[in-house]
Chain A
């Protein structure tokens, strides 16, 4: 028997992503492959977005390198539960470095959405916010409701981190909103916007 409880979770990823990123022109955003890359693009493609199209398990590490390189800028990693699970050790590496400007949000739909909605470990046993806390990340939380999201937004966007939130979102199949897929272009436009050079 599959646990399908996430089919009815109240929070919807495309709304959550807008509230995290809209109007935050200075935010440096990295998204994991698949649904979260389409999510950040649905809120408006921008030069300071780096949506991954592969490198599964790498989004959080990439955010760590960027956060350490740019300590004055807020870095937000938005990624899936499957992607987080593949790079779970990176939460320990984040905790050890402790960058205050890094926030990580897992959009946890308890599925591998991109590959046919198979159940992930979080559908049954694994609590990613607890994993992050056990790794030593300073500020962690699980967000399931509208009220909890409202309370979490300023923490995700402003609190001294590192910050980790597992945001429980509805398992839903949505339209693709594809960002550019040329990796060199994504890199060059990000560096040009941030550093003035590519």
Chain B
């Protein structure tokens, strides 16, 4: 199964009702699937930190959510992560990595190389999926950490899972 379909299937199984995102090319198919799903609110954000607060509100209202972003978006969230850690709001985050593998754009390196450390410093447990076959189980582990444990967890999706972005060069 395509890696993104494994994430989508795990979302459905975990009864995810809100999926918030700032688009990344790597997440495009998953975002489209969430938009098309009748039972998922797919919520476009203007900046990733909105999603951290949004999912806290969803949880207050009894709904489970997940947050999608690219590695640059991690930097936009740092202070808002304190909401999840201080109140123990469940927060599962799915990060498509840039600046890691066949990266054409050097501006992606700063956050690509530091995103995992930033996430861990902010209190998120991190896992990396480097092979398509492990995305499903690692998605389930990430969702379990969030919802069974009131925790914060991120799944880093290795750039090698995605087609290289070449800017038509």
Chain A proximity mask over B57-86: 1 for CB below 8 Å, otherwise 0? 111111101000000000000011011001
Surface stretch bound by B, among A35-43, A64-72, A111-119, A120-128: A64-72
Q: Is A34 an interface residue (CB 8 A)?
A: no
Q: Is A104 an interface residue (CB 8 A)?
A: no
Main secondary structure on A side of the interface with B: helix
Chain B proximity mask over A66-91: 1 for CB below 8 Å, otherwise 0? 11111001000000000000010110
Are A69 and B61 interface neighbours, CB within 8 A? yes
Q: Is A157 an interface residue (CB 8 A)?
A: no
Interface size on A, residues (CB 8 A): 37
Are B53 and A62 interface neighbours, CB within 8 A? yes
Chain A proximity mask over B24-48: 1 for CB below 8 Å, otherwise 0? 0000000000000000010111110
Can you list 23 A-B contacts with CB-CB less than 8 angstroms, sorted by A residue number?
A28-B60, A53-B86, A54-B79, A58-B56, A61-B50, A62-B56, A62-B60, A65-B55, A65-B59, A65-B63, A68-B18, A68-B41, A68-B63, A69-B60, A69-B61, A69-B62, A87-B50, A89-B45, A93-B54, A186-B87, A187-B87, A190-B60, A194-B60
Min Cβ gap A36→B in Å is: 15
**In chain A, what residue has the closest Cβ to B83?**
A55
Are A65 and B61 interface neighbours, CB within 8 A? yes
User: What's the Cα separation between A97 and B87 when bound, in Å?
Assistant: 26
Q: Is A10 an interface residue (CB 8 A)?
A: no
User: What's the Cα separation between A65 and B58 when bound, in Å?
Assistant: 4
User: What's the Cα separation between A89 and B46 when bound, in Å?
Assistant: 6
Q: Is A92 an interface residue (CB 8 A)?
A: yes
Contact of A59 among B18, B53, B62 (CB under 8 A): B53
User: What's the Cα separation between A146 and B65 when bound, in Å?
Assistant: 41
Are B62 and A183 interface neighbours, CB within 8 A? no
Residues of A within 8 A of B45 (CB): 61, 89, 93
